Amino acid sequence: MNLRRQLLLISLLTLVLPWAGCQFIRETESALREGQQQMLAGTAQAIADSLAQFPDEFAVQRRGTASGDASEQVYGHPLASPPLVDGYFDDWALPEPSLASLRGENASARFAVGVYRQSVFLYADVHDDAVVYSMPADAGGATRIADSVELVSAGDAPTGPGIGTAVYIFAAEAPGNLVPNRRTAEGAVDETRIAAHWQDTANGYRLEARIPRQLLGTRLGVVVMNANSRGTPAVRMSSFSGETPGRFVTPSPLLQSVAAGYVQADMQLIVSDMAGWRLAQAGEFSESNNGGTPGMASSWVRMAYDALLEAGDEALLAELDPSGREQQEYILEALSGEPATTWFRSPQSGRAVVAVAQPIWSGNVQTGAVVLQQGTDAILSLRNRALSRLMNFTLIATLLVAAALLGYASWMSFRIRRLSSAAERALDDKRVQADLPSARAGDEIGDLSRSFSSVLRQLGEYNEYLRTLASKLSHELRTPLTIVTSSLENLEHEPLTEASAEYTARAKDGAGRLRKILSAMSEASRVEELIENAEPETFDLRAALTSTVSAYADAWPERRFSLVADDTKAPIHGSPELIIQMLDKLVDNAVGFSSAGNEIVIRLKSTPGKLVLSVTNPGPPLPERMRSQLFDSMVSVRTSESGKHLGLGLFIARLIAVGHGGSITAFDVEGGVTFEVHVPAKDD
């Protein structure tokens, strides 16, 4: 991973700052919300104490009496306006889930009961595969069993006792308005004070009716009788299981009036009895402005906020239960006698609601619970504005830091690459370049540059010492060697024993080999001087090779030499003597690594702007460990006559090739090795 990517990753650490800021904002929001909950809890307690003086409004089931099953009780939804009795539900202003369900064989039904002033409204939607209408009684007085909706009332009327049990039967002879039949213990009569309408649907029928409140008691139940065309007994679907219907729960106008005096803006107050039925509801939430934060319309910004904020219960749980019976956990906790607090938040709308539930005690008897809910738009606005500023500033700061680090990393990478390139170019064929960039910088890169310069300077001095060592040794050893050689020659004229003569011959042979070594060392030095002082000329390299290869055949008759070249001229600008000397070294190397009878191939190929001269000989492949040192001074890879070869031939060949602006390489071929020289061609 390069330096820029590393610093970019490091720049991500700046995200720790907004994370810490978000944590602080979350803590602040929690503290503000807890303060609002405590305030609402105190307000709810005061309202509960005020409502405790109306125990009769809660219809408390005293100890020792049957409390009844709350699921069988019928709730009268408060209506804002009287619906038109026409068999349609859309003018009730109630949601569809407010319809209670009844189920039976081959049929199902939904119903709702509403209250508007002194009128009770009934709506029933029955799914029936075959609607059976009512028929007039026959001559024998028997009536045909038909589909019907029954409203069962029991208990005292609101205006006083004595209403007893009454069943209102709605059975139509045809779609349209109808008059229900009222049956009591005294008999059956048509009840003309009730308005009702029967309407057929594609899968059943609908019934809507308006009943005066004084005709109904404190208990109410709905029964749907499903008959069929064969006259078999009708199937009964009922809202209650026994003979007596459940309690008819209606909102209390008195509690509604008292509750309306306590609500404030963006606040909702709910009063429920011990079964959770809403007896009063006042106030409503104002339209949410999504926290009042500009720029919050973007969905990805909202998703980012939601990921950072503390999660609450779904805000839909704060809505009024469409059935009229509140069963949320915090309300059930209050109905069990313990105060409860909670809060809700909707990710979609941004709405957040704080809710508290407080039990209502009338003396030692709990009569119900009061629920107080309030929106937290003020807190949300403060929080969202803080988050918006934090995220905007963080985004800008992160971009600036990333840009600064990227620029700094690019500058550092440029300096390092420049130092690396200079270090690679520091070693050339003649001397070592010790001056590196950034040497005057005071940072770590400057220290590294100065360290490299010091090492290269010492390496240059040592390389210069090695480069001149051959000429120095050749000069210094030549005089002592001459003295030793002349002394040995003089000693040969003296009378010597056989052993002394043998030793003298060995010493003379060693002196001769030493003289050859000194000559080779001197040759390398002379080649460097010749390259510097030679006067180049243009000549035909092909013609020079033709005569030279013929001479090689005479010098090494046990080898076969062949020249492969184009018929055209190969002009080159340089020193003919040095080029032929380079070829001599390559051919000598080829002869040394080949065997008697082998063929050594010399090729000359012309390419655009360049001449390629190669020498190929059979023999062993190049050793892997010596490939990079093959053309260095005093390096030999010969396995025979170890210690008798100085290894300057290929070094001299490289000096001549580089001196003519070319290069030399070596590589393995099938069954041998090829040395290839590339030199610039002279334009005609």
The C-alpha atoms of residue 181 and residue 188 are separated, in whole angstroms, by 7
Per-residue pLDDT at 426? 78
| The residue type at 549 | V
The C-alpha atoms of residue 602 and residue 617 are separated, in whole angstroms, by 9
pLDDT digits (tens, 9 = 90+) for 416-454: 888 888 887 777 655 677 778 887 888 888 888 888 888
Helix (H), strand (E) at residue 354: strand 352-362
3-state secondary structure at position 557: coil
Residue 206 — very low, low, confident or very high, per pLDDT cuts 50/70/90?
Answer: very high
Q: If we measure between CA atoms, which residue out of 371, 360, 271 comes closest to residue 331?
A: 371
Per-residue pLDDT at 291? 44
Per-residue pLDDT at 230? 54
Contact 218, 60 (CB under 8 A): no
pLDDT digits (tens, 9 = 90+) for 543-582: 888 888 888 888 898 999 999 988 788 889 888 888 888 8
3-state secondary structure at position 54: coil
Per-residue pLDDT at 297? 42
Contact 79, 116 (CB under 8 A): yes
Tokens of residue 243, six digits: 């003979």
Tokens of residue 357, six digits: 């539930």
CB atoms inside a 10 Å sphere around CB 258: 20
Q: Of residues 428 and 134, which shows the higher confidence score?
A: 134
pLDDT digits (tens, 9 = 90+) for 153-167: 988 665 445 457 899
Helix (H), strand (E) at residue 397: helix 377-424
Per-residue pLDDT at 163? 57
Per-residue pLDDT at 84? 95
User: What is the reported pTM?
Assistant: 0.56
> What are the Cα distances from residue 452, in Å, to 278, 422, 431, 433?
88, 10, 16, 11
Residue 278 — very low, low, confident or very high, per pLDDT cuts 50/70/90?
Answer: very high
Report whether pLDDT(360) > 80. yes
Per-residue pLDDT at 546? 87
473 exposure class (CB count in 10 Å sphere: 0-12, 13-18, 19+):
middle
Residue 110 — very low, low, confident or very high, per pLDDT cuts 50/70/90?
Answer: very high
Helix (H), strand (E) at residue 355: strand 352-362
Q: If we measure between CA atoms, which residue out of 414, 460, 455, 409 comes closest to residue 438?
A: 414
Average pLDDT for 65-71: 59
Strand pairing class (181-184; 166-170): antiparallel
The C-alpha atoms of residue 46 and residue 325 are separated, in whole angstroms, by 23
Per-residue pLDDT at 613? 93
3-state secondary structure at position 249: strand
Q: Identify the bridge partners of residue 561 per DSSP, sorted by sequence position.
A: 600
The C-alpha atoms of residue 95 and residue 561 are separated, in whole angstroms, by 108
Residue 498 — very low, low, confident or very high, per pLDDT cuts 50/70/90?
Answer: confident
User: Which DSSP string do the residues of 149-210 spell out, in sequence order?
Assistant: EEEEEES-BTTBS----EEEEE--SSSEEE--EEEETTEEEE-TT-EEEEEEETTEEEEEEE
Q: Spell out the residues 6+ positions from residue 189 whose beta carbon is closer than 8 angstroms to its own.
A: 181, 182
The C-alpha atoms of residue 682 and residue 572 are separated, in whole angstroms, by 5
pLDDT digits (tens, 9 = 90+) for 643-668: 444 567 888 888 888 888 899 999 99
3-state secondary structure at position 96: helix
Helix/strand/coil (H, E, C) string of 296-346? CCCHHHHHHHHHHCCCCEEHHHHCCCCCCECCCHHHHHHHCCCCEEEEEEC
- Alpha carbon 549 to chain centroid distance? 72
Structure-token match 């310069």, residue found: 453
Report whether pLDDT(256) > 60. yes
Q: If we measure between CA atoms, which residue out of 525, 532, 430 comes closest to residue 468?
A: 525
Direct distance between the N- and C-terminal alpha carbons of the chain, in angstroms, rounded to an integer: 52
Residue 319 — very low, low, confident or very high, per pLDDT cuts 50/70/90?
Answer: confident
| The residue type at 302 | R
The C-alpha atoms of residue 209 and residue 192 are separated, in whole angstroms, by 12
Domains of the chain are 9-59+252-386 (3.30.450.20), 70-246 (2.60.40.1190), 425-532 (1.10.287), 534-680 (3.30.565.10)
Of 111-115, 187-191, 296-300, 393-397, least confident by mean pLDDT is 296-300
Contact 381, 292 (CB under 8 A): yes
The C-alpha atoms of residue 368 and residue 544 are separated, in whole angstroms, by 122
Report whether pLDDT(142) > 60. no
The C-alpha atoms of residue 679 and residue 613 are separated, in whole angstroms, by 8
Report whether pLDDT(402) > 70. yes
The C-alpha atoms of residue 17 and residue 124 are separated, in whole angstroms, by 61
The C-alpha atoms of residue 684 and residue 673 are separated, in whole angstroms, by 33
- Average pLDDT of the chain is 80
Residue 302 — very low, low, confident or very high, per pLDDT cuts 50/70/90?
Answer: low
Per-residue pLDDT at 209? 97
The C-alpha atoms of residue 609 and residue 682 are separated, in whole angstroms, by 7
Q: Spell out the residues 6+ positions from residue 6 whose beta carbon is closer than 8 angstroms to its own.
A: 409
Per-residue pLDDT at 121? 97
CA dihedral 110, 115, 120, 126 (to 10 degrees): -10
> What are the Cα distances from residue 543, in Å, to 205, 243, 535, 565, 609?
118, 132, 20, 10, 19
| The residue type at 165 | T
Report whether pLDDT(8) > 60. yes
The C-alpha atoms of residue 39 and residue 357 are separated, in whole angstroms, by 12
Report whether pLDDT(187) > 60. yes
Average pLDDT for 391-414: 77
Helix (H), strand (E) at residue 219: strand 219-226
Of 106-115, 446-455, 624-633, least confident by mean pLDDT is 624-633
Average pLDDT for 630-641: 62
pLDDT digits (tens, 9 = 90+) for 19-67: 776 677 667 767 777 777 888 889 999 999 999 999 888 865 433 334 4
Rg of the chain over all Cα atoms, to the nearest angstrom? 56
pLDDT digits (tens, 9 = 90+) for 174-186: 999 999 999 988 8
Contact 325, 75 (CB under 8 A): yes
Report whether pLDDT(233) > 80. no
Per-residue pLDDT at 211? 96
Residue 293 — very low, low, confident or very high, per pLDDT cuts 50/70/90?
Answer: very low
pLDDT digits (tens, 9 = 90+) for 342-357: 887 765 555 678 889 9
Compute φ and ψ for 345, nearest 5 degrees.
-145, 135
Q: Of residues 277 and 428, which shows the higher confidence score?
A: 277
Residue 141 — very low, low, confident or very high, per pLDDT cuts 50/70/90?
Answer: very low
